A = this chain, B = another copy of it.
Amino acid sequence: MRWTLPSQSLPSAWFNVMPHLSEPVAPPLHPGTREPIGPSDLTPLFPMALIGQEVSAEPWIDIPGEVLDVLRLWRPTPLIRAERLERALKTPARIYYKDESVSPAGSHKPNTAVPQAYYNKQEGVARLTTETGAGQWGSALSFAASLFDLECKVYMVRASYEQKPYRRIMMEVWGGSVVPSPVDEPDNPGSLGSAISDAVRDAAGREDSHYSLGSVLNHVLLHQTVIGLEAKEQLIAAGEELPDIVIGSCGGGSNLGGIALPFVPDAGVELLAVEPSSCPTLTEGRFDYDFGDVAGLTPLLSMYTLGHEFIPPPIHAGGLRYHGDSPIISSLVKTGRMQATAYPQGKVFDAAIQFARTEGTIPAPETSHAIRAVIDEALAAKERGEERVILFNYSGHGLLDLGAYNDYLTGQLDQV
């Protein structure tokens, strides 16, 4: 069963979680001075509108009309009840998911790519640079840049660049220009951290260019809250009140934040982050100030981190291969408002195949981390005979990750 909303029901403001955090997020520090940074430190990279949103304490921030016009190309996204999966699991739990895979780029990422492109265009920027892991973010920004007539340069983590030629072509269809990163080390499989260094260095060195980040930062999570806001309305249409638990996979935190942040004020709703065992930032990292990138060019952020020089193994969920995490998500986990768990790749793909063969759609490897946790939650609810309401974010499809599925089906997938 699916619940859709008419175009007019798209939220007209983003939900800002800042006033609802029990501990405020500590301010970013300047990489040179280690003093709190001011807006002027960020203007070489970001437009003022986004710098303002990064530190805003307003509870709601209006979405510009031109951004709404583009989001309406695919939003509101459907809320779907996974009845066939429930039946296969014989669980009394009711499982709902928000289908973010219906966007042109195939994931939740355009929710922030579009406003970022818009605000940059408004301030006269001609060109955006960014990094991408699995390619979801680079696709989203290339798409958004094409609609606002901006140039887009994407530094793609080399492991993904080589595993996923289709992702590169997708960006090129939208006019994006894509190079493997690190640019100067052809034998290095790369990581999000090092690709960020490449993209920041490029933007900082050119007058006409800004840098665009697809996760981690406060304004990015802010833009993603349309997901959770729509889900709240759709759950009511489905006859539910609040979910018992909200689940999302977590790399930098944007898809998780998007679905979970609007539920932070609802004390009875559990929130769960799911990450890969091979890159266990929230479950095994330390809470500390650290750089966002490998080269130490970015401000220091207060977050869980595995160390900014940590290079995760080349698992297929490229979007989750990040040493750090969103300061907002980190704060929620540190204060106990959110829990975190980690799964190895083999168990994640078991869940992905079960989902594809019951619900019909093929999930991204990143998304499949959330699905693994959902299935385990639903089985635990069956064990306890509990009618639990589970909501998760179906953050993207796996149609450009079929090479990973082939590895799984032919027994060549690294299980850890």
Contacts and interface: CB of A to CB of B under 8 A. Distances in A.
A172 B407 CA distance: 12
A5 B6 CA distance: 8
Interface residues of A, number: 42
A1 B72 contact: yes
A360 interface: yes
A205 interface: no
A358 B149 CA distance: 10
A102 B104 contact: no
A69 to B, nearest CB: 8
Interface stretch (A304-312, A323-331, A395-403): A395-403
A3 interface: yes
Given A72-B1, A80-B73, A147-B84, A170 B360 contact: no
Contact of A143 (B80, B360, B409): B360
A3 B4 CA distance: 10
A169 interface: yes
Interface in A393-416: 399-400, 402-403, 405-406, 409
A411 to B, nearest CB: 13
Interface string A71-87: 01110000010001000
Interface string A185-206: 0000000000000000000000
A361 interface: yes
Contact of A166 (B70, B173, B402): B402
B72 A403 contact: no
A286 to B, nearest CB: 38
Given A146-B356, A175-B357, A399-B400, 14 more contacts: A2-B72, A2-B74, A4-B5, A4-B7, A73-B360, A146-B357, A146-B360, A147-B358, A166-B399, A169-B405, A169-B409, A170-B362, A173-B357, A400-B402
Which of A106, A174, A361 gathers most chain B CB within 10 Å? Answer: A361
A360 B109 CA distance: 14
A242 interface: no
A84 B2 CA distance: 28
A353 interface: yes
A405 B166 CA distance: 10
B409 A173 contact: yes
Nearest to A75: B2
A233 interface: no
A382 to B, nearest CB: 22
Interface of A: 1-7, 70, 72-74, 80, 84, 102, 104, 106, 143, 146-147, 165-166, 169-170, 172-175, 353, 356-362, 399-400, 402-403, 405-406, 409
A367 to B, nearest CB: 14
Contacts of A359: 73, 104
A169 B403 contact: yes
Nearest to A104: B360
A170 B409 CA distance: 11
Contacts of A409: 169, 172-173
B173 A356 contact: yes
A357 B73 contact: no
A113 B382 CA distance: 33
B4 A169 contact: no
Contacts of A169: 402-403, 405-406, 409
B399 A357 contact: no
Task: State the 10 A-B residue pairs at the shortest beta-carbon distance, nearest first.
Answer: A104-B360, A169-B402, A4-B4, A166-B402, A104-B361, A169-B406, A399-B399, A146-B357, A173-B356, A173-B405
A51 to B, nearest CB: 27
Contacts of A146: 356-357, 360
Nearest to A105: B360
A169 B1 CA distance: 27
A294 B375 CA distance: 47
Contact of A353 (B4, B6, B74, B173): B173
A104 B357 CA distance: 11
